[in-house]
């Protein structure tokens, strides 16, 4: 089945002059990024990323792109290779990202999303939906840090508020090897799936698949997220696998695509995959393929109801033994609740997000993508891919424009495949101009991998390493408990993560949630407790150029006195 109106070039001569305008384009984008970093007044991590990382990546990218344009020579021969190239490149990326998890990211999950993926994986590996809590913690679980976990009035167990498929994958791979292999393995599978999609869309053009692979290889966001426990590498790969199956247009591939869609919807949060798939499925209505359209419509309705029931029924019943209330039972309540939190910050946050998205991609992705947008006016599949990107950005703009932690703009990560395929649409439209673009693509891919990617990795290492250093120091403490103030350093609360079965020592507690009743319960056994002071948090505060918290040390002194009176032994960290 041909889902496209046309795949022919739309007049390549106007585009043959685009190379000469690329330096101006690169400089203009870099200037806009630097200006945004200076002018935006968003007191959060998005602006910090723009100021400390992305504006410098914009400048570096502009200079490198200009350097790549010098002395270009025409290349008449088209790129040609087999699927073995995708396997080879994907394998190299898998090995490099696995090594990067340890060398670049210090084998540390910094954000709550990363930590909770491993948290849930540990629970699922034992064949449980949620981990039971000992009686003394059931009314005091917030001291263990329950951020982004299911909220209940009386907590008998705990589990994250995310859907389980990403964690289940990590648990499954953890039975065979290390869970850290999950992201790298999915990065390999993503390269193969992208190759398959490109060959399916352009069966007579072998060069298109090579171009897609080169753009994939030169995208730093793919490499760096592959090193993490984020669900984002899985979103990218599973969307590409779904698209490859859908494009084959056979009864059994439609069934397989719906099965893949089941796991994709339950991967992380309910709405990610449907925003990618819905515009593509709309093509079935345009082509009056009513049977396939009904099959997918009823299939996704059942999938949505299943995961809705999982998220707000089974899991909550497991946690506290009572049905969820009306608001908690609706996934849309979550979306509406987020609408109230971002008023006035949408435009600054999304501006920072878009610059972050740009700076962590292949140097040529945006110019080629913009050419692909022109093709979307005449090509239905291209328009559907673009529709998924625009729909996701629109929803993020309305509901959750602040992404928090992220290596690149992770909320669009599952759609990088769509960005790349649209860029390939742009590439194919260049026609005779390709003889000049081929050497430029090779140069920019090499520069992206050999110069820009190491810079992005260095920035990521500098961000992760201080938290990993402090966490390692806490793990080495010979005490029963360690208490950390949530605001004693930037994102210090993310240091408070515990094993779901509370087998780690020392247990980590949030100081603000350590109330007198919990203190009395803990201290009855006369345990040893250490309080994390400003000196211990200095690697983090130094990195953020933040002043040590004087009030934190005062709070620690008051807490130390209270704990001592209750019978605890307060010891230095």
The backbone torsions φ and ψ at residue 530, rounded to the nearest 5 degrees and listed phi first, read: -115, 140
Higher-confidence residue: 195 or 155? 195
pLDDT mean across residues, the chain? 90
Name the strand (E) or helix (H) holding 538: helix 538-543
Tokens 């040390």, residue?
553
pLDDT at 203 over 70: yes
Q: What is the largest CA-CA distance in the chain?
A: 82
Token representation of residue 418: 């769509």
pLDDT at site 326: 46
Res 5 pLDDT > 70 = no
Q: What's the average model confidence in pLDDT over 239-255?
A: 96
Q: Is the predicted pLDDT of residue 327 greater than 60, yes or no?
A: no
Checking if the pLDDT of 470 tops 60, the result is yes
pTM as predicted: 0.93
Element of type H or E holding 544: none
571 has pLDDT over 70: yes
pLDDT on residue 4:
46
> Is residue 208 a contact partner of residue 428, using CB atoms and an 8 Å limit?
yes
* Predicted confidence (pLDDT) at residue 1 exceeds the cutoff of 50: no
Instruction: Check residue 12 and give its pLDDT.
Output: 46
pLDDT of residue 298: 97
In this predicted structure, the answer to whether residue 521 has a pLDDT above a threshold of 60 is: yes
pLDDT category of residue 8 using cuts at 50, 70 and 90: very low
Q: Does pLDDT of 457 surpass 60?
A: yes
pLDDT at 399: 84
**Angle subtended at Cα 91 by Cα 424 and Cα 120, rounded to the nearest 5 degrees:** 95
Q: What is the pLDDT of residue 120?
A: 96
Q: How confident is the model at residue 323 (pLDDT cuts 50, 70, 90)?
A: low
Q: Do the Cβ atoms of 220 and 64 come closer than 8 Å? A: no
Q: Which residue has the higher pLDDT, 219 or 81?
A: 219
pLDDT reported for residue 402:
87
Indicate the range of 108-122, 240-254, 322-336 predicted with least confidence: 322-336
Measured CA to CA, the distance from residue 461 to residue 410 in angstroms comes to 17
What pLDDT shows up at residue 10? Answer: 44
Give tens-digit pLDDT for 364-413.
999 999 999 999 999 999 999 999 999 999 999 988 888 889 999 999 99
Task: Give me the pLDDT at residue 308, please.
Answer: 86
Note the pLDDT tens digit of each residue in 127-165. Answer: 998 999 998 898 899 999 998 888 776 788 899 989 999
pLDDT digits (tens, 9 = 90+) for 65-91: 999 988 878 776 889 889 999 999 999
Tokens representing 411 are 């909320």
- pLDDT for the residue numbered 193: 97
**Using an 8 Å Cβ cutoff, are 3 and 285 in contact?**
no
Between 1-5, 44-48, 291-295, 483-487, the lowest mean confidence (pLDDT) is in 1-5
Binned at pLDDT 50, 70 and 90, residue 546 comes out as confident
């Amino acid at each position: 089945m041909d889902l496209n109106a046309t795949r022919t070039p739309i007049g390549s001569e106007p585009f043959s002059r685009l190379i000469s305008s690329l330096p101006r384009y690169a400089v203009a984008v870099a200037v806009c990024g630097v200006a945004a970093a200076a002018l935006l007044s968003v007191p959060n991590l998005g602006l910090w990323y723009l100021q400390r990382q992305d504006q410098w990546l914009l400048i570096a990218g502009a200079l490198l792109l200009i350097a790549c344009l010098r002395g270009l020579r025409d290349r008449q021969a088209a790129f040609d290779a087999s699927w073995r190239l995708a396997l080879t490149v994907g394998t190299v990326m898998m090995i490099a990202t696995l090594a990067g998890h340890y060398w670049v990211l210090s084998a540390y999950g910094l954000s709550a999303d990363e930590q909770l993926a491993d948290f849930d994986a540990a629970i699922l590996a034992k064949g449980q939906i949620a981990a039971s809590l000992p009686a003394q913690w059931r009314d005091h679980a917030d001291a263990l840090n329950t951020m982004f976990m299911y909220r209940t009035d009386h907590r008998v167990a705990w589990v994250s508020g995310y859907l389980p498929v990403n964690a289940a994958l990590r648990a499954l791979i953890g039975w065979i090897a290390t869970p850290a292999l999950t992201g790298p393995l999915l990065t390999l599978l993503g390269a193969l799936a992208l190759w398959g999609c490109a060959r399916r869309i352009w069966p007579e053009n072998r060069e298109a698949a090579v171009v897609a692979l080169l753009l994939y290889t030169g995208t730093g966001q793919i490499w760096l997220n592959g090193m993490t426990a984020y669900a984002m590498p899985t979103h990218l790969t599973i969307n590409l696998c779904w698209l490859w199956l859908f494009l084959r247009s056979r009864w059994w591939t439609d069934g397989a695509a719906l099965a893949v869609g089941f796991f994709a919807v339950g991967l992380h949060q309910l709405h990610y995959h449907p925003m990618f798939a819905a515009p593509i499925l709309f093509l079935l209505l345009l082509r009056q393929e009513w049977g396939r359209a009904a099959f997918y419509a009823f299939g996704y309705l059942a999938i949505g109801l299943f995961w809705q029931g999982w998220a707000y029924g089974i899991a909550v019943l497991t946690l506290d033994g009572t049905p969820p209330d009306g608001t908690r039972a609706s996934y849309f309540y979550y979306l509406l609740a987020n609408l109230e939190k971002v008023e006035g910050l949408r435009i600054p946050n999304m501006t920072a997000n878009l610059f972050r998205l740009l700076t962590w991609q292949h140097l040529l992705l945006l110019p080629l993508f913009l050419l692909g947008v022109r093709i979307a006016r005449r090509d239905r599949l291209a328009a559907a891919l673009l529709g998924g990107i625009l729909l996701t950005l629109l929803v993020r703009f309305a509901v959750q424009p602040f992404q928090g932690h992220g290596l690149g703009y992770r909320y669009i990560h599952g759609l990088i495949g769509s960005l790349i395929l649209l860029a390939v649409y742009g590439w194919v439209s260049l026609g005779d101009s390709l003889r000049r673009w081929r050497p430029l693509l090779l140069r920019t891919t090499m520069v992206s991998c050999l110069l820009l990617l190491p810079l992005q990795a260095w920035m990521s290492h500098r961000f992760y390493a201080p938290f990993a250093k402090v966490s390692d120091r806490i793990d080495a403490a010979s005490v029963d408990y360690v208490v950390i103030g949530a605001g004693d350093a930037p994102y210090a609360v993310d240091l408070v993560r515990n094993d779901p079965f509370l087998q780690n020592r020392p247990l980590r507690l949030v100081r603000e949630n350590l109330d007198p009743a919990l203190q009395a319960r803990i201290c009855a056994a006369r345990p040893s407790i250490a309080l994390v002071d400003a000196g211990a948090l200095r690697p983090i505060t130094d990195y953020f150029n933040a002043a040590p918290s004087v009030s934190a040390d005062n709070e620690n002194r008051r807490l130390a006195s209270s704990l001592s009176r209750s019978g605890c032994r307060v010891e230095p960290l």
